[in-house]
Amino acid sequence: MLLEAIYHKPKLNWAYSFDKKTVHLRVRTKRNDMKQVQVIHGDKYIWDQSNQTDHMTLLSQDQFFDYWHIAITPPYRRLRYAFKFTDVSNSTIVLTEEDFVEKLPDNPNTFFDFPFINPVDVFEPPSWVKDAVFYQIFPERFANGDPSINPPQVEAWGGKPTPTNFFGGDLQGVIDHLDYLQQLGITAIYFTPIFEATTNHKYDTEDYFTIDKHFGDKKVFKELIKQAHARGIKVMLDAVFNHCGKTFPPFVDALEKGEQSKYKDWFHVRSWPLQVIDNIPTYDTFAFEPKMPKLNTENDEVKAYLLDIAQYWIKEFDIDGWRLDVANEVDHQFWREFRQTVKALKPDVYILGEIWHDATAWLQGDQFDAVMNYPFTNAVLDFFANKSISAHAFKNRIGKQLANYSEQVTLSAFNLLDSHDTARLLTLANQNIKAMKQAALFQLTYPGAPCIYYGDEVGLDGGHDPDCRKCMEWDEQKQNKELLSFYQRLLKLRHTYGAFRSSQIAFLPIESDMQDHVIAYSRQDDNDSFIVIINTNENKTTASIKLETKQEFEVIWQNEAKLITATKSDSIELALDGYSFIILKQK
């Protein structure tokens, strides 16, 4: 028994209120070290009458550790607890808050303490998010619905994208294709910025209260929201509050008047005048980009201005979410006030932060509902697209991801595989459609809110920015119709069965002569239970899954794979062709 591997902290993802009556506890142990882990728990004020012992279940594993989990409903919303470990050799030890001990102490005051489930402290992301499927739209490249508002020197639709060219995509173009999105199975749109700006990407905001003139106007946007909502589609906008653009009037004023400007404290200035010396601006910016000066969100005027923007688009247009650009470079206090402000206006608005790494500090219920889940993205791409890690390594990385965050965070996470900031999925998969499908299959059967980048579903490819920002392909003769049908079927499967949207996911031990390339995982809820098996290699193989009890399954989707075991059995035997998958449903 390796005591040094055992870890628990009575906060964060280790002990938290899941809802107004339930506490989730987790503890870490060395991988495969423990035969069982128990929790001794009760109410601290009536310990003798209330204490009981329950078994924890194995939540997930990574390279080094097991993560154990239990949900407890304390009758009086208080919880005092300790852990009892039994290793594979049947040795036991107890962990209290103070130390490891050989036997359970009589005095529960030394135990861990969850003082009280205060309803106001319960982290409750919007309930609709866990069932949503997002579709990211880069407005300038999705569809040209109103040529009369095209930018000057607009280029023919479908040309090669550059950092500076325009093709005339607009909001009317999105309205014209809402039926397409609905038929695909999309229930939420994420727009990159739509506000007045000089670039094609609009991350250099000039006016936060105005729709960019080349995208349309507020009347068109209201119509878009109205028609989207009528189809059950939510709309999320991009809030670029870390920085503005070089044409933002307060920055123009500071640029012209220097220290005499009334806006001088709206920015982080190291020295005056505002200028660029040896490619380094004398003021803080996004990266070192002179045209994107960083806003001082600790300044009361800036804070009031930005919070007014956050409220305006909810009040006037009933948007359903804010995606927060470069969110980890803005101070925590601003985001706390941001959350309080928008949630007071619309409690189920979705607050999504752009953070590429561990985001625990932002996901405690006082700031964001979720972040763009790039650790998930990278793991899926490395296994299915890049082929750079084994099945074992992939399962470890996903296991660690599941353990890192609370269940609420897992269910509301924004799970993407590509975006306007990355190369496209098909290109990352080296033009291998079968590998791309498998990555999408895992994404769309995983807990959280998946996001499809516009055009992926019809075979749009592209390298890194700007190549990933190609025009959407609307010519059906040039679309990959088979891939589109695959996405439609996959989304229908996700919407039909709650099991694919639940938090209950577990990798299953599977025997194959290609262990590095084959995975199996279960997905279940109170109504249904499924097993998904995927062979990511180009070669055929057979595989076997040992079950704890005799079960019978039916095939609901097979792609170059075959279920050999047809009757009730305690094992599943499979024949898997190259790049195949099969989805089984328990009868």
pTM of the model: 0.96
Interatomic CA distance for residues 213 and 202, integer angstroms: 12
Assess whether 233 and 301 both reside in one domain.
Answer: yes
515 plus 380 within the same structural domain: no
The number of beta carbons lying within 10 Å of the beta carbon of residue 566 is 11
Instruction: Based on the fold, state whether residues 105 and 178 are members of the same structural domain.
Output: no
Q: Would you state the pLDDT for residue 436?
A: 98
Reduce the DSSP state of residue 574 to 3 states and report it. strand
Which one of 121, 143, 160 terminates a domain? 121
* CATH code of residue 18: 2.60.40.10
Span 315-373, pLDDT tens digits: 999 999 999 999 999 999 999 999 999 999 999 999 999 999 999 999 999 999 999 99
User: In degrees, to the nearest 5, what angle opens at C-alpha 454 toward C-alphas 230 and 350?
Assistant: 55
Of 62, 238, 325, 418, the active-site residue reads 325
How far is Cα of residue 468 from the mean position of the Cα atoms in its chain?
20
Do residues 161 and 203 share a domain? Answer: yes
- The pLDDT averaged over each successive group of 10 residues in the chain (587 residues) is 96 96 98 98 95 97 97 97 97 96 90 96 97 98 98 96 98 98 98 98 98 98 98 98 98 97 98 96 96 98 98 98 98 98 98 96 97 97 97 98 97 98 97 98 98 98 97 98 98 98 96 95 97 97 93 94 87 96 96
The backbone torsions φ and ψ at residue 98, rounded to the nearest 5 degrees and listed phi first, read -85, -40
Residues 201 and 348 in one domain: yes
Name the CA dihedral angle for 486, 488, 493, 496, rounded to a multiple of 10 degrees. Answer: -170
Nearest to 523 by CA among 515, 533, 537: 533
Question: Looking at the structure, do residues 529 and 477 belong to the same domain, yes or no?
Answer: no
Q: d(Cα 305, Cα 161) in Å, to the nearest integer? A: 34
Closest CA to 195 of 147, 140, 250: 140
**pLDDT for 271-305, tens place per residue?**
999 999 999 999 999 999 999 999 999 999 999 99
Q: Which of 496, 520, 551 is the last residue of a domain?
A: 496
Give the whole-angstrom CA distance, residue 438 versus residue 485: 14
Domain shared by 303 and 218, yes or no: yes
pLDDT digits (tens, 9 = 90+) for 102-154: 999 888 899 999 999 999 999 999 999 999 999 999 999 999 999 999 999 99
Q: Spell out a b/e string for 364-402, using b for 16 or more CB atoms within 10 Å of the CB, else e.
A: bbebbbbbbbbbbbbbbbbbbbebebebebbbbbbbbbb
Residue tagged active-site, from 206, 212, 354, 407: 354
Amino acid at 513: D
Say whether 223 is catalytic: no
| Residue 132 pLDDT | 98
Total number of domains in the chain: 4
User: DSSP code of 7?
Assistant: B
Q: Is the domain of 177 the same as that of 166?
A: yes
List residues bridging with 352 in a β-sheet.
Answer: 323, 370
Contacts of 255 (CB under 8 A, 6+ apart): 246, 273, 274
Do 277 and 141 lie in one domain? The reply is no
What is the residue range of 560's domain?
500-586
86, 121, 156 - which closes a domain: 121
Listed residue (428, 411, 404, 571) closest to 505, CA to CA? 411
Q: What is the CATH number of the domain that holds 289?
A: 3.90.400.10
Polymer length in residues for the chain = 587
- 486: its two tokens: 């695959």
Judgement on whether residues 405 and 304 belong to the same structural domain of the protein: yes
Q: 303 and 196, same structural domain? A: yes
**Given this model, what pLDDT does residue 48 score?**
93
Whether 395 and 509 have beta carbons less than 8 Å apart is answered as no
CATH number at residue 513: 2.60.40.1180
Is 204 assigned a catalytic role?
no
What is the CATH number for 215? 3.20.20.80
* 458 and 530 assigned to the same domain: no
Predicted confidence at residue 475, as pLDDT, reads 97
